[in-house]
């Protein structure tokens, strides 16, 4: 991977993060905002979106945080957070239109939104649980790519980070739907990498093992033995900010 000597990753950037309201997404958004970058974020929970909006640092020229509507926060604020489900292609299409209207086309996209099935053998995983994992972890990423990649291609630059997992590169029992979705992310990323024009790159990135709600779902109380999202975020932020088009098609780990 090509790594800049600048820890901050150069000039301020606009970063879109899905699943921004909790876990890795929230910690990454706060870390990047503290470094002076602009955050575009989406998540299903309006309450959690508003809580994050209130916590994100704002530049001196920003007005006081305005109350978010069900679709978006005030476009006059530096950051743009909105309550959207990545599983809805039509919602992501409208989100992309809003981003263009507010002149916040991202320099970096972090496809972070994800979920996991409860530990269970595949024949005991309810169909609706399987669908939730695939629709969020895989189709959600495809929806973002469908509507945001053309904006990056038009600008002839952009980095897309698709969050993968160690379980997207090696198997584990009782999380077959999750493994399937993350193996698919690895394949999707490598295939899309071959389709991108110069100036753009797509990377699959495993966060490593981090103490999130999803890890606790699998590991139980032993999840607390691993680093918190807040501990993870500084290293992850630096790594993401320093990705370049030379990293196109790579499978990396924080």
Return the active site residues: 178
Which CA distances in Å does 135 have to 85, 102, 169, 175, 182?
10, 28, 20, 16, 12
107 CA to centre of own chain: 13
Compute the Cα dihedral for 26, 32, 36, 42 and give only its sign: negative
* Calpha distance 202→224 (Å, rounded): 31
Q: Is 198 helix (H, G, I), strand (E, B) or coil?
A: coil
| Residue 147 φ/ψ, nearest 5 degrees | -105, -20
139 CA to centre of own chain: 13
């Amino acid at each position: 991977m090509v790594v800049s000597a600048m820890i901050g990753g150069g000039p301020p950037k606009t970063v879109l993060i899905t699943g921004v309201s909790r876990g890795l997404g929230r910690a990454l958004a706060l870390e990047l905002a503290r470094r002076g970058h602009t955050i575009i974020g989406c998540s299903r929970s309006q309450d959690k979106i508003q809580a994050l909006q209130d916590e994100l640092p704002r530049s001196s020229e920003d007005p006081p945080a305005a109350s978010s509507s069900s679709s978006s926060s005030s476009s006059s604020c530096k950051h743009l957070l909105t309550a959207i489900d990545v599983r809805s292609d039509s919602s992501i299409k409208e989100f992309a239109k809003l981003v263009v209207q507010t002149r916040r086309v991202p320099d970096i996209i972090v496809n972070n939104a994800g979920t996991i099935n409860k530990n269970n053998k595949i024949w005991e995983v309810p169909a609706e649980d399987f669908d939730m994992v695939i629709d969020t972890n895989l189709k959600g990423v495809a929806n973002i790519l469908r509507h945001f990649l053309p904006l990056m291609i038009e600008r002839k630059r952009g980095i897309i980070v698709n969050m993968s997992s160690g379980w997207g590169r090696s198997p584990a029992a009782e999380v077959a739907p999750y493994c399937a979705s993350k193996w698919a992310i690895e394949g999707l990323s490598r295939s899309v990498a071959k389709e991108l024009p110069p100036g753009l790159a797509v990377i699959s990135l495993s966060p490593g093992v981090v103490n999130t709600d999803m890890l606790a779902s699998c590991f139980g109380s032993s999840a607390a033995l691993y680093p918190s999202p807040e501990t993870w975020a500084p290293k992850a932020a630096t790594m993401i900010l320093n990705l370049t088009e030379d990293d196109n098609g790579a499978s990396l780990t924080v």
